[in-house]
Chain A
Amino acid sequence: MREVAVIGVGMSPWGELWRSSLRDLFAQAALEAMKDSGAPRIDSMVVGCMSSGLFNGQEHLGSLMADYAGLRGIPATRVESACASGGAAFRTGVLEVASGASDFVLVGGVEKMTDVSGDAATRALSAASDFEYEAYQGATFPALYAMVARAHMDRYGTTRKQLAMVAVKNHENGLLNPRAQFRQRISVDAVLGSVMVADPLRLLDCSPITDGAAAVVLCPKELAVKLKKKPLIKVAGIGQASDCIALAQRKDITRFEAAALAAQRAYKAAGIGPDEVDFAEVHDCFTIAEICVLEALGFCKTGQGGRFTEEGHTSRLGRKPINPSGGLKSKGHPVGATGVAQIVELVEQLRGSAGERQLSKVRCGLAENMGGTCGSAVVSILTREGA
């Protein structure tokens, strides 16, 4: 299989965007990525989107988005894996290039969540859970993660304060990100005082509803070299894994097994271990999610994710910066776009073009994107080659 490089990135604005439609958001991100890439053509497109059917009454996104990105005629496929749709789309695109099937592939993720009422959006999101045996029972998304939080707190002594610190840190990072949906500082007290959503998770423990799109352009390494892309950003390894989507059926509900498996596969492909990862963008749909993911990725011991956070290791200046973009919490979470936006952040950090939020000395970044209560997970490792 060929080595794959990421040669272009683009994003639409992210937020509550009344004037932007689903197709327009995608087009903005796609056009920016194509321009940034300098690619002479696009051979194929992969679209990641969780639920345009429920949010917008629109399916058939591959063709629709190819058309609106000025790419009518190319093969275009929609990939879905709930909130990991973006990551799964990325993996699909990478495999298409790696296999030699295509040279220039555009991978875009998009979600337009504000075209339906709040209730309808909540119901659409709960389709990522087991509809007949979780959503039907009244287990909302926050409720499922809240149960993970409670179990984690009961078993490992993770504290409410440690959860809050995840949100506080991500907002700190988001302050430096001009594209973040929410750019305001919050305090631990603010998190602990925000309205209860599903005990113990409060409003400020939860990522928001967002409209947005992100896109990247991929090509084989040798073509990136020909295009004089410097520095060269390479996909070192990708892993994906599935699990039963119903939380009740997991062996250990405090462990994100799919994320751990996906990470193992990615590390193996990249020939590295967790210690060699300089920074990561992870799926903090809820504060507890980031804590559990740290453990699944091997950045800290099982059960120690809360402590690891409290000790400051995951802040911008810590030894393992997590979510320098602001994460889902501050940057926003247009579901299908998130996984691709994580790649955009990795690329910008590795290129050294992350502006105010630039981390120093980064060569290897990791993105972890997951669906539902980690019923699916995609872990992507990108590295910088050259100066």
Chain B
Amino acid sequence: MNIQPQRYWREIPQRYRLEAGKCRKCGKLCFPPRRKCAACGGASWDTVQLPRKGRLLTYTVVHSSTDEFAKLVPYAVAIVDLGNGVRLTAQVVDVDPGELCAGMPVRLEFRKLGEAGKAGVICYGYKAVPA
């Protein structure tokens, strides 16, 4: 992964703690956080941590990827629905491709997403595992 430490570090609250914004005006959750609420245009937020449990909305199994994912191929990627209107994209691991199905309950686990080469920063974040 071609990633410098500062760009990696900036997203740590989201990648490590699933920090989202909760709009003070309309209550909608926004992940990752941003300045202007896409729902109501509000610009005032509280920080909340998303729950680490959800369900798969849909998924695929990647058979062809770039070098950095070579050791994991084939690996599953899915859109995970965490409820309350929040969805995110994540790999699904510790699972047989045949087990995957829309609606499958999962939880988000702390995993290594990659590294900026053998000498570069190690990139951590979340992946889904069957709940």
Contact = CB atoms under 8 A, between A and B. Distances in A.
Chains A and B bind each other:
yes
B46 interface: no
Contacts of A134: 89
A119 B67 contact: yes
Given A150-B58, A248-B87, A136 B63 contact: no
Nearest to A129: B89
A332 interface: no
A133 B32 contact: yes
B122 interface: no
A69 interface: no
A147 B63 contact: no
Contacts of B72: 138
B62 interface: yes
B32 A247 contact: no
Contacts, number: 101
Nearest to A130: B89
Contact of B113 (A137, A198, A248, A249): A137
Given A133-B32, A147-B59, A140 B89 contact: no
A132 B3 CA distance: 10
B64 interface: yes
Given A123-B2, A137-B77, A154-B102, A249 B63 contact: no
Interface string B30-67: 00100000100000000000000000011111111111
Interface string A125-159: 00000101110111110110011111100100000
B63 A198 contact: yes
Interface in A96-123: 119, 122-123
Interface of B: 1-3, 11, 32, 38, 57-67, 69, 72, 75, 77-80, 87-91, 97, 102, 113-114, 123, 125
13 contacts: A133-B32, A136-B3, A138-B114, A139-B77, A140-B77, A143-B60, A147-B59, A150-B58, A151-B57, A151-B102, A197-B63, A199-B60, A248-B79
